[in-house]
Every structure is written in C-alpha cells, then in structure tokens.
Amino acid sequence: MELAINGGSPASARYLGYGHQDVSDEDIQAVVDCLKSDYLTCGPATAAFEEALRDVTGARFVTAVANGTAALHVACLAAGIGPGDEVIVSPITFAASANCVRYCGGTPVFADIDPLTWNVSPSSIREKVTPRTRAVVAVDFGGVHVDSEAIRAICDEHGLVFIEDAAHSLGTSRGGVPVGSIADITTFSFHPVKTVTTGEGGAVTTNDPELARLIELYAKHGITRRPDLLRNADEGGWYYEQLVLGYNYRISDIEAALGVSQVKRLPEFSARRRELVAFYNEQFADVPEVSFQMDDTPEETTRHLYCLKFDTEALGVSRRFIFDALKAENLGVNVHYLPVYLLPYYQDLGHGRGECPHAEDYYDHAVTLPLHCGLSDEDAQHVVDAVMKVIEWCRENDAIGSEEGGR
Ligand SMILES: *Cc1c(COP(=O)(O)O)cnc(C)c1O
C-alpha cells in the first residue's frame, strides 16, 4: 500500500488529534448556569469543584487553581523551595515540572527514567540526592503511576517533600489509593488535552494541614481572613491580612462549573481510555519494531497519552520520517517529550546531552499516537493501520535496499 506521504490515500479519512476534549451538552449547560448565577469567581462552583476533587482523589485538602503550572508553583512555594535548594525532577515531562523550581529560585536536578515504564527511576533519584536536595517532583508519565513506594522511602530517608505532578493521571490509583492522596503534595492540570478539562485549570491536593494552609495562602495573594491565622486582632468585618507574597492563581467559577460536570464523567473517560490502550497494546504486542509503555497495573490506570517507541535502527528510517509519514496518514501525532534539560533555556543553565541517557534514548525514538474519548473503534483501528502501513513499508523497503522515501 502506498504511503500517504508518497501520494497514497491516508489510513484515516479524518484527522485524529493526539488529544481532544470531550465536552457534552450537560457540560455546556453547567457553564451557562454559572454565567447566569451571582458568582463568576470565588463562588459555589469553585467550592463544589474542590469537593468533587476531594471525592475522586481521597485527599483531605484541595485547592483549585488557575492551571497546572500555577499548581506546581504553589506546591514548590508550600514546600519551601528557595535559592540554593535542589529539587529532583523527571526529565520526560512538560517544562512546567521544572520551571516551578526555577520560579522559586531553586535548582532542578534531572534524574533518569526507567527504560520500560518511562517514569523517573527511583535508583536514579537516589543517585542525585545531595545535602541541598529539598524535594522531588515526580511525574506520572502518560497517566502511569510512578513507583511511589520507592520514592516515598527515599524522601523519608532524606527529609524531602514528595511532590507528584499528576497532570496526566487524574483517575489513576495505586494499590487502591487514588492519585492525589499518595504524595505529600499532588498537582493536577485541566488543560483541554488532559482527561478532565476546565479550559484552563489546575488543583493542588494534600493530606497535611500545614501544607494545605500554605498552598491556600500562596494561591490567593498570601491573604487570609481565617481568624486562627491573623497576626493582629480582627479590626472588623472588612479585615484581612497578607502574610506572605502570594499570587492570584484562582480558578474562575465558570471554569470550575465545567470541572464539576466533567469530573462526574471521569469514570466514563477512564474506562474508554483504558479500552483504547488495551486495544493498541494488543495490536502492537507482536510487532518487534515498536514498544509501548510498561504498566504493571493497567486496571488502575487512567491514561492520558499513548506513546510508542520505534526501533528506528531496525526500521532503517529516522523518527522524523515516521512522524511525517504518520502525520500524512492523518494522525495528529506528537512527541512527548523532549527531555526538559535539552530545552535551550536549560542548556543555557549548563545542561546538555548525556545527562539522562535513558530519557534521551526514549526521546529519540518516541511518537505519541491519538488517545482520547472522541475516537471511535474504527478510528482506533485506523491508527493501528497507519502505524502498520508505515512499518510494513519500512520492512519492504529495507528488503529491497531502496534509498527512496526521505530516509
Ligand atoms: C499539562 C502539564 C502541566 C501544566 O499544566 P497547565 O495546566 O498547562 O499549566 C504540567 N505538567 C505536566 C506533566 C503536564 O502535562
């Protein structure tokens, strides 16, 4: 079959994005109802969204915030990160997981990933601990839970704050314990490609009352009216105090109203994503040129991303060729992620190739395939068809030793 990149017809007639929001009529109605209500911010929808997140995560304290990046910033502030402090971070993640450390003047230190789970490896974290280390930011890559038992042990041993960047993993649990009540602080994002969306939005969860107090404070200008926190006597009904330099990281009620409605649908989203991942895994299990993310408890995982690692050496083509060929087949492929420390900003700080060999090897071979609830069974079959079409083309081309096709 002729590849679309060489003029053939694409495996999918319609464009299949790698991620897409699923917004129902009920979700829309929830937003409309909010717009007609008395509160567009700081109202009952925000409180209801926090309550809904408490139910899903099992966390004692939830603060909804403006986005996942704000959630990470507030988490680092609450953890007390400042200049001179080191924070160990996963390299295969969105830049925000490390930027939050920089916002506080701290130094991100990148630990390598496990070559099979693609999550940050506890043994690499252990190697990177120094007397200056204060915290770990571990990302549940693609929604697959990090090895939290091992990370917890390292954090306890060295007195580190365990921050879990759960932007990918709302709905995932480990040993029956939901993400959001496992680490000391957990952060979420509700960007439209994530499993649950509010447009822009995020949340920070913790079970620790002292951390919760700081999270709340930093996310809301550092200002409080709580009588138990005021330094001076209450001067009247108008009185508040600013205790630290905080930020306006509030979510609006318009966004939170969408969030309340979306969280109700999380079980449906989780189930469909799990189904699609199981289908892909089954289809690719016997294809030697590709490998998928290892997850030893898939029944507990809500997946955000589906990435494949292509054995480009065996295929005899570049990753760029595979990416372009799949794009031509009408798949909205992507790459998650360039190791954060290879972004020019981090290279300017002295980072470079060679720092995390497994992360670089993963990055060099990875392509993200479409995974979202808008995919029908037929769409998912077309995704597999497109991948197999490209692989078979590579096999045949290799056999005849052809140099054509933009290798
Ligand atoms: C999306 C994402 C973020 C940032 O979330 P925003 O809501 O876009 O600010 C942080 N970390 C990871 C791993 C993400 O995927």
pLDDT digits (tens, 9 = 90+) for 373-397: 999 999 999 999 999 999 999 999 8
CA distances from 345 to 89, 98, 99, 109, 359 (A): 16, 11, 10, 14, 18
Do 186 and 206 touch, CB atoms closer than 8 A? yes
Residues with CB under 6 A from ligand 1: 67-69, 93-94, 96-97, 139, 165, 167-168, 189, 191, 202
Provide the pLDDT confidence category of residue 399 given band limits of 50, 70 and 90: low
Percentage, residues of the chain above pLDDT 70: 98
Give the tens place of pLDDT for each residue, 288-343. Answer: 999 999 999 999 999 999 999 999 999 999 999 999 999 999 999 999 999 999 99
Give the tens place of pLDDT for each residue, 50-65. Answer: 999 999 999 999 999 9
Q: What mean pLDDT do residues 258-280 have?
A: 98
Q: Of the residues 93, 94, 140, which should be mutated to test ligand 1's pocket, given the most ligand atoms within 8 Å of the CB? A: 94
Give the tens place of pLDDT for each residue, 95-120. Answer: 999 999 999 999 999 999 999 999 99
Q: How far apart are CA 55 and CA 281, in angstroms?
A: 31
Q: What mean pLDDT do residues 34-61 have?
A: 98
Atom of ligand 1 nearest to the CA of 190: 7
The phi, psi pair for 394, rounded to 5°, reads: -65, -45
Atom of ligand 1 nearest to the CA of 93: 13
Between the CA of 63 and the centroid of ligand 1 the distance, in Å, is 16
Between the CA of 194 and the centroid of ligand 1 the distance, in Å, is 9
Provide the pLDDT confidence category of residue 398 given band limits of 50, 70 and 90: confident
Q: What mean pLDDT do residues 335-363 have?
A: 98
Count other C-beta atoms under 10 Å from residue 225's C-beta: 12
- Cβ partners under 8 Å of residue 16, min gap 6: 330, 331, 332, 370, 375, 379, 382, 383
Q: How far apart are CA 198 and CA 45, in angstroms?
A: 12
Count other C-beta atoms under 10 Å from residue 257's C-beta: 28
Say whether pLDDT at 402 is over 80.
Answer: no
Residues listed for the chain:
407
Say whether pLDDT at 407 is over 50.
Answer: no
Provide the pLDDT confidence category of residue 400 given band limits of 50, 70 and 90: low
Say whether pLDDT at 231 is over 80.
Answer: yes
* Structure confidence at residue 1 (pLDDT): 81
Say whether pLDDT at 403 is over 80.
Answer: no
